Amino acid sequence: MAARGGPNKVFCASLADVFEDNEQLIPWRNDLWALIVATPNLEWQLLTKRPENVLRFSPDRIPRNVWMGTSIENEQYAFRADILRKVDAEIRFISYEPALGPLAHAIGLSEIHWLIYGGESGPNYRKEDKQWARDIERKCRESGTAFFHKQSAAWRTELGIELDGRVVREFPHIVE
């Protein structure tokens, strides 16, 4: 397997959800899909808390330059991984952030290429148990899923990027 190197990544709509079921988003979403197709040199990362809407609001074939992800903050939302696996995307990823509870015991990572772990950030952040990060990293190792430790819980983003003294920021590998 070769690392996917060159193209720039675009994290789309970081403060929105492209897959929200809202009629006002239809023209915007159509424009987005056209832009994604027109920019094969970019890798588009689309993240949703509504993976059940992805197939309904996507073209018949999701372009190869789309990485499709879902947020899973604790075991209560682990079912989202099962829905994500049904999406035929080149890269499927989980954003385990903000990490608000243990997840490793409740989730399978087969066919998930990347997992991003992050503690909550902001003035009223909730604390995390670093064992959650250790456990999900171990689960990633067992399944061959790339693990990216983004941050520990803190008052602002990107604080505490080390996990047990290591910076672990892996990206998924795909067959070229």
Domain boundaries, the chain: 2-174
The mean per-residue pLDDT over the stretch 131-152 comes to 98
Cβ contact 40:61 at 8 Å: no
Strand order across the beta sheet in which 8-12 lies: 8-12, 42-48, 66-71, 91-96, 114-118, 146-151
Name the band, by pLDDT with cuts 50, 70 and 90, for residue 7: confident
The CA distance from 23 to 21, in Å, is 7
Whether the predicted pLDDT of 165 surpasses 80: yes
**Mapping DSSP to helix (H, G, I), strand (E, B) and coil, where does residue 84 land?**
helix
Which pLDDT value is given to residue 5?
53
| Sign of the torsion formed by the C-alpha atoms of 99, 14, 156 and 114 | positive
Tens digit of each residue's pLDDT (9 = 90 or more) over 59-69:
999 999 999 99
Q: Where is pLDDT greater, at 86 or 159?
A: 86
Residue 52 confidence class, pLDDT cut points 50, 70, 90: very high
Q: Per-residue confidence at 2, pLDDT binned at 50, 70, 90?
A: very low
Predicted local confidence at residue 3, as pLDDT: 47
**Structure confidence at residue 174 (pLDDT):** 66
Does the pLDDT of residue 167 top 90, yes or no? yes
Say yes or no to pLDDT of 176 above 60.
no
CATH class of the structural domain 2-174: alpha beta
Q: What is the mean pLDDT of the chain?
A: 94
Q: Hey, what are 163's tokens?
A: 């996990």
Query: Is the pLDDT higher at 82 or at 6?
Result: 82
